Structure 1
Amino acid sequence: MNTRINRCFERCRAEGRSALIVYATVGCPTPEESEALIDRLIDAGADMVELGVPFSDPMADGPVIQHAEQVALAAGTTLKKVLEIAGRIRARHPETPLVLFSYYNVLFHYGLDRLGAALRETEIDGLLVVDLPLEERSEIEPLCRTSGVELIPLVSPATSLERAERIASGCGGFVYYITVRGVTGVRQALPPELAGELETLRARLPLPVAAGFGISSAAMAKAVGAHADAVVVGSAVMRKVLDEGCDAAVALTGELAAGVRGRDA
């Protein structure tokens, strides 16, 4: 399919590298600052952006993303505001894939029909629903089909290969592989078996495989990127935003982009 996500992976493969996917909690530190930050992350080398929708009970997220979401909620960030920001980012970055990253509760309360219309209007490319299991995916699949949005599946080290194949079937964009057991967060090292797991998934699944959770440096991005189609970084970037400011987050993104490209930052 000729989609932004597919074109992004094709460009990266042509350059002999993995894609860099950066997660940003929209609304942190404020909606206005986060919108400007996402523009800068793209300019710094993010090939794709996950737009994190703040939620009051983010059970899959560690302390950094939880804090970022609390900041965003306190600043008045809603799903409606996230979609408005996404539309403006799309206008400025027509070829950068944008993935809406959310918990199902937020989408359900917004209204699925209303959401589908908004996704079409803002030209969101992918939808990643963190807490939606395979058995309940039929809740959201019609929305994705009618709005032209690719449903991004998640698998983890606890997922059997057979189940991973079932999860990936019928989805699009890429498979998000959670590299470690547990919640999101910065880690100093990743499991030694990760490379083999990624290679097995890439050989068996019909979609590109993106590896996320725990990647925090250019060296880690380079090492993981050697075995994955994309590297996802979230907590490390948001920790920079919270502790040092947006400039530091942009600088880190530049280093990560250099890492996946096999260059020194």
Structure 2
Amino acid sequence: MKIQKLLEALNELLEPEKFRDYCPNGLQVQGKKEVKNIVCGVSASEALINEAVKRDADTIIVHHGYFWKNENPRIIGIKRTRIKKLLEHDINLIAYHLPLDANEKVGNNHELGRLLKLKDVTPLPDEPLVLQGEFDPPVTIEKLTDKLTEVLWRVPYVVPVDSPPSIRRVAFCSGAAQDYLEKAADAGAQAYLSGEISERTVLEARELGVPYFAVGHHASETLGIRALSQWLATRFPQLNVSFVNIDNPI
């Protein structure tokens, strides 16, 4: 399969042109023109590249790639080591950031909503990346903690508050989206889930009376790239597609 055909299929699915992102989406480092063996992962770390080399992959697809806005543009240090290894082994690096958060078919956020079996999932007003949905029947803080542990394979950090004993409406967004907590509360959320937590988040959750669940940036963003790898394997059965999870506790 030609790399251009793969990119066309990914762009048709993920629609990167709809997003003002912090990094380039699509092909970031050019490798082989013919694609046969794809490794998918959350972040383009050296460990993931090493695993791709071990598996004789010609293409890596990630959520977190390179060339972020405001980062040092020089190819030195860690960036040099990673890119040098990609070039030496002629491996394509493809990355999709916000498009892989938002996509309804394979995106991080919609995948989390499906795994939690939420009903009536819709975006927050003016915040398309932040979703809200309902549990039916409602759940307790303890039950929601158990659900998140089950679907994300890690125990969330929970900021409990003096709140009603049950949670029906919940808002959520993968990654570093803790600063949407107040908007979520204004929209009627009785709990908010995101990947990361800051010192201010604890104070805001207590003052808003909305329990906050920090589920892990990495854990919350394994969902989309894993779903994308499954989509690729189904769409293109001639390709060897695998998801590799490089463990990250954050």
User: Would you say same fold, with TM above 0.5?
Assistant: no
The higher-RCO structure (CA 8 Å, 6+ apart) is 1
Of Structure 1 and Structure 2, the greater helix share is in: 1
Q: Which has the larger radius of gyration?
A: 2
With the length of structure 1 as denominator, give the TM-score of the two structures: 0.28
Alignment TM-score, normalising by the size of structure 2: 0.29
